[in-house]
Amino acid sequence: MLPEKVLAKRLEQKHTDYDYYKEAWETIAQLREGSPAILKNATKYCPRRPGEAEDIYQIRLSKLSYTPLMSYHIFQYVSKLISAPVYLSGVENESYWAKWRSSVDAKGLDELGFLSNIFSCLLYFGRCYIALDLPSEVKKYRSHWEAQDDQTMPYVLLYEPLDVLNWFDDSWYITRQVETTGDALDEPKMLCRWLVRTKEEVSRYSAEVKVNSAGRPVEILSDTKWLPIDHPNAVVYQDSQWLHGLGRCPILCLELPSEAWIGKAVYRKQVQHLQIESAWTDTGTMAGIIQRLYTPTPPVAQTDPRVVYQPQPDYNQLSKADNAHILIGSNFEFKESSGSAIGNLSSQLEIIEGQLKYLASMSFASVTKGAVMQSGTSKGFDMAMMADAMKAYGAKVRQFYEDILQLVAKLSNSSEDIRVHGLSTYSVDNLETMLTQAEKLESLPLLPPTVKRIWYGKLVNLLVGTVSPDVSVKIEEELDSLLTQDLLDTQEEINDDRSVDEKPTLTKEYLMETQGISEKEAQIIMMMAYYDLTEDEAQEVLS
């Protein structure tokens, strides 16, 4: 059992991976949040130039400009992932699982939204943590069976890497979350909660804290005294504990390979784009401004000792920018800012945008100007590469979701034979292209039935999109029935076109030779033709 009180600095200890990636994760999180976070940390993204006056620097900070290219590309990936259907098998209590899938976090987040959040977190931060919990705000549960009797339903929590401070293999994890609490008319308070999850129990420690600009706790209210969070006397007390009875730590982690982590690949390019775009904006606001230049007449050397002369001006002094002062020049004149800098910055922005798209691997066929001139075969190959990448991502998310559901089933005392299917069909063709191909398909009567089955499955997916598992199964059954009848009709047309002497007997060997099907498929068609059986009935007889 974990102790009832613990030093705050122990809860705040960081894993070596956390310290290593912390700066990158914080930058990625700010870029994802967008302009509010960028403006709050403006000096980080727009550092002061050497010798730049404070008032000029503040004007330049006010011109920060940000286009969220990274967020756009990751959103496209996430949208593509959930366009593929997902369904379960091995489910015992369908009503229970239907209710759970409609609100996986006990707050109304459905299954597709949950999968989207997982995939988004993976692409931004390279890893994602999912914890399993039971409602335990009021009473402490001694086991998951006691929670089951209390009519509770497990729910999941998604933790981003910045919220998971420390861990050891799959033995234990420490997470931290800071939230604002207080009554309507009271002064708001910042409450920090650390959850320690082990193979036996889940313990929560809570305390009021003060946070820094990044939202991280720096002081803690310990026994009525405010102390630095790393103070040797700063302690935090346990306010909740329950034994989960899972025999393993109730938190799962999915980590992407380094080369598949899009956020890491592009976030520095996104920062570079932000800085160049801000310089472009600053330069654009300067275009057309008239700059004044004046040089006074240099004094003539004098030798009269009775006259006191002013010292000669220092012509090497630094000049201030942004038209704040008259610049020292060769004479008095007006100078207009050159527009060449704007063109150079525009070219740089275009190059960076192309590099960012390439690194994100979002549009293989559209990362260069020459993409418009690509052949159809080349574009098709590029899109096929994107589909393969989505299948690889989908396989990882599918397996991770299956592990989550099996953990939910174990905590719910349900069957753990549940399996996840789907997240694997990502067509590279559009509906118009597929319908055009359908007309040509009619002229290929000897096309193997399995090929037709796969092709029509892709067409149906484009027509109806994502549907429920029950509807998906019904569509598959109806499609199999239609293709079987089409095969029989084709055979009748072939026989009608021949003379009596030329018409072969419909045999198993003939179907295997002309239709390219297996022996079992040929036997099923023969039984359906001669004994007027349905496909299911024929399969049952053969089995």
pLDDT-wise least confident of 116-120, 209-213, 429-433, 458-462: 429-433
Q: Hey, CA dihedral for 362, 367, 373, 375, is it positive or negative?
A: negative
Contact present, 173 and 252 (Cβ < 8 Å): no
Assess whether pLDDT exceeds 70 at residue 411. yes
81 φ, ψ (degrees, to nearest 5): -60, -50
What beta strand segments (E) does 245-346 contain? 251-255, 290-293, 333-336
Q: How confident is the model at residue 373, as a pLDDT?
A: 44
191 bridge partner residues: 179, 208
Higher pLDDT, 306 or 389: 389
Give dist(CA 269, CA 25) in Å, integer. Answer: 15
Q: Which pTM does this prediction carry?
A: 0.71
The single-letter code of the amino acid at 163 is D
Angle 16-33/69-81 helices, nearest 10 degrees? 100
Dihedral pair phi/psi, residue 47, rounded to 5°? -70, 155
Kind of pairing, strands 127-133 and 251-255?
Answer: antiparallel
Alpha-carbon gap, residue 386 to 434, rounded angstroms: 18
By the 8 A CB rule, do 271 and 28 touch? no
Cα distance between the two ends of the chain: 55
Q: Where are the beta strands (DSSP E) in 85-188?
A: 86-89, 127-133, 155-159, 164-168, 172-181
Q: Which of 275-284, 499-508, 510-519 has the lowest mean pLDDT?
A: 499-508
Average pLDDT value over all residues in the chain: 79
Mean pLDDT to the nearest integer, 516-524: 80
Signed CA dihedral, 392, 394, 400, 406: sign only: negative
CA-closest candidate to residue 406, choices 164, 132, 157, 203:
132
Q: Is 78 helix (H, G, I), strand (E, B) or coil?
A: helix
Q: For residue 291, give the nearest of 323, 319, 330 by alpha carbon.
A: 323
**At which residue do the structure tokens 């409602």 appear?**
135
- Of residues 311 and 283, the one with the higher pLDDT is 283
Residue 140 is encoded by which pair of tokens? 């402490």
- Contacts (Cβ under 8 Å, ≥6 apart) of 151: none
Tokens in use for 112? 């597709």
Q: Say which amino acid occupies 438.
A: A
Per-residue pLDDT, averaged over 61-70, amounts to: 92
Predicted confidence (pLDDT) per residue in 446-497, tens digit: 566 666 666 677 777 767 766 665 676 677 777 777 766 666 565 555 455 5
Give the percent of the chain with pLDDT over 70. 69
Q: Say what the pLDDT of residue 71 is.
A: 93
pLDDT exceeds 50 at position 365: no
Candidates 296, 291, 334; CA nearest to 315 is 296
80 CB neighbour count, 10 Å cutoff: 18
Alpha-carbon dihedral sign for residues 135, 140, 145, 147: negative
Contacts of 161 (CB under 8 A, 6+ apart): 18, 21, 25, 125, 126, 127, 129
Mean pLDDT for the stretch of residues 1-5: 90
* Alpha-carbon span 305 to 325, nearest angstrom: 35
| Higher local confidence (pLDDT), 334 or 421 | 421
The pLDDT of 225-238, averaged and rounded, is 94
Q: Is the per-residue pLDDT at 413 higher than 50?
A: yes
Alpha carbons 244 and 145: distance in angstroms, whole number: 9
Where does 408-519 show beta strands of DSSP type E?
Answer: 419-422
Instruction: Please state the rounded mean pLDDT for residues 199-203.
Output: 93
Residue 66 tokens, joined: 């940000």
Answer yes or no: is pLDDT of 114 > 90.
yes
Per-residue confidence (pLDDT) for residue 487, from 0 to 100: 61
Tokens 């969220």 identify what position?
68
Q: Compare 281 and 376 and report the one with higher pLDDT.
A: 281
Helices and strands, counts by H and E, the chain? 18, 15
What was the pLDDT predicted at 286? 73
What backbone torsions phi and psi does residue 132 show, to the nearest 5 degrees?
-110, 130
pLDDT for res 315:
47
DSSP states of 250-301: SEEEEE--GGG-HHHHHHHHHHHHHHHHHHHHHHHHHTTPEEEE--PPPPPP
- Mean pLDDT lowest among 56-60, 99-103, 488-492: 488-492
Cα–Cα distance, 239 to 206 (Å, whole number)? 7
Residue carrying structure tokens 């029989």? 488
Position 214 scores a pLDDT of 80
* Stretch among 24-28, 52-56, 156-160 having the lowest mean pLDDT: 52-56
Residue whose pair of structure tokens reads 């302009």 in the numeric block: 35
Average pLDDT over residues 263-283: 92
Residue 42 has pLDDT above 70, yes or no: yes
The lowest-confidence range among 193-202, 372-381, 425-434, 452-461 is: 372-381
| Rg of the Cα atoms in the chain | 34
CA 295/CA 312 separation, integer angstroms:
12
According to DSSP, residue 196 is labeled: E
% of the chain with per-residue pLDDT over 90: 37
Predicted local distance difference test score (pLDDT) of residue 485? 66
Neighbours of 284 (CB within 10 A): 17
Section 300-310 average pLDDT:
60
Q: Which residues are bridge partners to 240 per DSSP? A: 204
**Using CA atoms, how far apart are residues 534 and 540, in angstroms rounded to an integer?**
10
Question: How far does CA 368 lie from the centroid of its chain?
Answer: 24
Measure Cα distances from 251 to 111, 119, 262, 428 in Å: 18, 17, 24, 36
Give the residue from 79, 133, 86 showing the smallest Cα distance to 107.
133
Between these two residues, 530 and 435, which has the higher pLDDT value?
A: 435
**Do residues 236 and 11 lie in contact, with contact meaning Cβ atoms separated by under 8 Å?**
yes
What is the distance between the alpha carbons of residues 243 and 246, in angstroms, rounded to a whole number?
A: 9
Q: How far is CA 214 from the centre of its chain?
A: 22
Asked if 397 contacts 406 with a C-beta cutoff of 8 angstroms, the reply is no
The residue behind tokens 């933790």 is: 159
